[in-house]
Structure 1
Amino acid sequence: MTFSVHSMASVNSALQHMSMLQSESAKVHDRIATGLKVGSASDNGTVWATAQVMRSDNESRQSALTSIDLGTGVVETALAAAEGISDLMVEMQSKLVAATDTTLDEQSWRSLMTDFIELGNQATRLAENASFNDLNLLESGGGDLSVLIGKDPSSTMTIAAEDLTDGGGIFDAGLAANLPQSDNAIVATQPTSADVVAFEASLVDVTSAVSRLGVGLRSLEIQKTLLVKQMDVTSAGIGNLVDADLGRESAKLQALQVREQLGIQALEIANRSPRVILNFFQ
């Protein structure tokens, strides 16, 4: 065994060991404090880059979720108004059928047609006022609704506009002029069974439009459920990649603390070793 006051290899070895333990302990403290085992590219470049891409995808999905929520509001508003129009048309049909009774005098059937026109006016106002976020699928000239449903800009769903104003191609009151009207002056003659048949056809068209809006709304709900699930799964995947296991990190920290205590004792022993040389000169 060689004794030297210059090299002190045992002391240097103990110091290096303590430095390594302190560095590792600092990393464990950082993982416990942040809850992340990969907090930056310096920890693991490949994993960090993968997690960043996944985070970006989820941000894009969040934008799509906002688009779906807004689109759902537009379609829900349109659907509620369309259902109201359909209900009003059922009442209108009842008035129209009653007005075809040839046993009625002119005042009576005109009174029924006044009610028919007023109900039609209400239906038209529903279509004109079915607006959400300045978007209306039921008004004349209303455009189709395009909704972002995925992380890619090309992932869209289109909800077709349904013009339910009188004369718009779906709802047709069958009068000489389109509704709304202030009185029954546009009714020149008593309605006939042919007018009832034509109105029934229009009612079928409106019912079909209501059905299409209902299908569109359901489709948006399904897409939202899928999108939320994708976001949850992606978030869980990010967690699996970068989150620290705090239980394991805590156990590792305790083990490092014990090793540091042992290292301190080893350093004290190493520091005492050179003093043995003095005994040679006594």
Structure 2
Amino acid sequence: MAINSINTNTGAMTALQNLNTTSKQLETVQARINTGKKISSAKDNGAIWAIAQSQRGTSQSLNAVKDSILRGQSTIDVAVAAGESISDLLVNMKEKALAASDASLDSTSRTALNEDFKALRDQVAKAVANADFNGSNMIKAGGATVVALGNADGTSRITVAAQSLALGGANVTVSATGTIGTVTTATAMIATVTTSIANVGAALAKLGTGTKALDSHLNFVGKLQDALDAGVGNLVDADLASESAKLQALQTKRQLGVQALSIANASTSSLLGLFR
């Protein structure tokens, strides 16, 4: 190839190739600065992008797990609040039954105590009926068991069993028609209510254990989600301090490339001096 040629300018070709390379690198750095990510799409690094996207999916799925656990906690909280009220009502009912077991009471006093007892009994039924959250009631007869999501795949569940506190049930053994109108019924009711108080306490303990389990798992899920988000950041986030330094260097390099290309292009025009 002729050294002095106006048809082929090797120096300009080389300068242009280097300038194009620098411009592409500069575009990459500017994109990283704009997005804050070194890998923002599959074309940047397909394997890493796929891994990061999978972890993003898991992290976002954990939002549904957290929502499920929070709904379960709320359902249990309502059941516990109602159960505590029922326990207090039973304590008052025991007091009335004990008072009515006194054989020396006149009929007026006994009738008044019986009416108070029946009002408390009916209040227990109302507390059970109203212990609903989002359509779920854990303490009615045949109540709803809480089944919360445990992981992002939906393959794990956290179960908290329902605890029936309905009148005449396994825990509250006082019947829906129980009274203390006579010494005999009042005396028998003392033992019945005492048993019910103990049963309700045990049922509430189980519900309390269940809500603690949900709370513990909720904390774990939150930490797991934070760890996943941090892991994704480690994979795809750009080091902006490093990118800033690269930007300065590449801008300088591009300016030098433009000057080099200008010099290379000017070399052919110098050949005109040979013909003057």
TM-superposed CA distance for 1:194, in Å, is 4.3
Aligned position for 1:259? 253
Task: List per-residue Cα deviations over 1:103-146 (Å, max 9, x = no partner).
Answer: 21233223212211211111111111000001000112213121
2:262 pairs, out of 268, 271, 274, with: 268
Aligned position for 2:211? 217
Counterpart residue type for residue 248 of structure 2 = Q
Q: TM-score, normalised by structure 2?
A: 0.94
CA distance in 2, matches of 1:219, 1:227: 12
CA distance in 1, matches of 2:138, 2:184: 34
CA contact (8 A) 2:101 2:183 kept: no
2:196 pairs, out of 199, 202, 206, with: 202
Residue aligned with 1:157, SS = strand
CA distance in 1, matches of 2:77, 2:55: 32
Aligned position for 1:109? 110
Total equivalences in the alignment: 275
Residue aligned with 1:136, SS = coil
TM-superposed CA distance for 1:187, in Å, is 4.1
Q: Is it true that 1:73 corresponds to 2:67 in the alignment?
A: no
CA distance in 2, matches of 1:194, 1:172: 12
Moved more, 270-279 or 75-84: 270-279
Moved more, 23-32 or 103-112: 103-112
CA distance in 2, matches of 1:107, 1:160: 44
| Counterpart mapping for 1:6-21 below 5 A | 6-21=7-22
TM-superposed CA distance for 1:35, in Å, is 1.5
CA distance in 1, matches of 2:92, 2:79: 20
| Counterpart mapping for 1:137-176 below 5 A | 137-173=138-174, 175=175
Aligned position for 1:132? 133
Structure 1 pair 221–228 and aligned structure 2 pair: CA distance change class (3 A): same
Alignment gaps of 5+ in structure 2: none
Residue aligned with 1:249, SS = helix
Aligned position for 2:28? 27
CA contact (8 A) 2:100 2:182 kept: no
Aligned position for 1:235? 229
Residue aligned with 2:229, SS = helix
Task: List per-residue Cα deviations over 1:222-277 (Å, max 9, x = no partner).
Answer: 11111111111101111111111222112211111000111111111111112232
Percent identity over paired residues? 38
Moved more, 147-156 or 186-195: 186-195
CA distance in 1, matches of 2:15, 2:275: 27
CA contact (8 A) 1:149 1:224 kept: no
CA distance in 2, matches of 1:219, 1:106: 51
CA contact (8 A) 2:97 2:187 kept: no
Moved more, 136-145 or 46-55: 136-145
Aligned position for 2:87? 86
Alignment gaps of 5+ in structure 1: none
CA distance in 1, matches of 2:44, 2:191: 76
Moved more, 266-275 or 6-15: 266-275
Residue aligned with 2:256, SS = helix
Counterpart residue type for residue 66 of structure 1 = D
CA distance in 2, matches of 1:113, 1:212: 32
Q: TM-score, normalised by structure 1?
A: 0.92
Counterpart residue type for residue 125 of structure 1 = K
CA distance in 2, matches of 1:112, 1:16: 102
Counterpart residue type for residue 210 of structure 1 = L
CA contact (8 A) 1:31 1:37 kept: yes
Task: List per-residue Cα deviations over 1:14-64 (Å, max 9, x = no partner).
Answer: 111111111111111111111111111111111111111101111221111
TM-superposed CA distance for 1:216, in Å, is 1.1
